[in-house]
Amino acid sequence: MIERVAAALLLLAFGGIAYRLLIARQIRRTSALAASDPLLSSLKPGVPTILYFTTPMCVPCKTVQTPALNHLQEELGDAIQIVRVDASENPDAAQRWGVFSAPTTFILDGGGATVAVNHGVAEASKLRRQLGMA
């Protein structure tokens, strides 16, 4: 019995470490990509950005993520930029950014470097903290 618990804990630890490494790799890769990506060509420099990948069939996108982003945009105004990308209409962009589920949000600092990525729903308070505007 104790061996099974130890094996389960080992697998959980390995999974957690692997996930963190995957996120760190994705952040490094997208930071390099952001400078030349056509999705971000019209952004104002120096303003933090949320790059939001969604799809028309994504229920959490419609019910939680989009309202959270709308609230954040109303609250912070021109202090942030939000770029919404329909991954079903722009699969090349989703592939470039390593998006494998919707919603996915990338937080970019004013210099265009990726500072965080959220796979799944991210509440407005979490996004605000990631933007450094808590």
In the sheet that holds 49-54, the strands lie side by side as 81-86, 49-54, 104-108, 114-119
- 28-41 tens-digit pLDDT: 888 888 888 998 98
| pLDDT (tens digit per residue) in 46-68 | 999 999 999 999 999 999 999 99
Helix (H, G, I), strand (E, B) or coil at 51: strand
Report the alpha-carbon distance of residue 103 to residue 118 in Å, rounded.
8
Model confidence at 134: pLDDT above 70:
no
State the greatest distance between any 2 C-alpha atoms of the chain, in Å, as a whole number: 58
Query: What pTM was estimated for this model as a whole?
Result: 0.88
Looking at 2.30.180.10, 3.30.450.20, 3.40.30.10, 3.30.1240.10, the CATH number of the domain 2-131 comes to 3.40.30.10
According to the model, what pLDDT value does residue 87 have?
Answer: 97
On the CB side of 124, CA atoms within 13 Å amount to 13
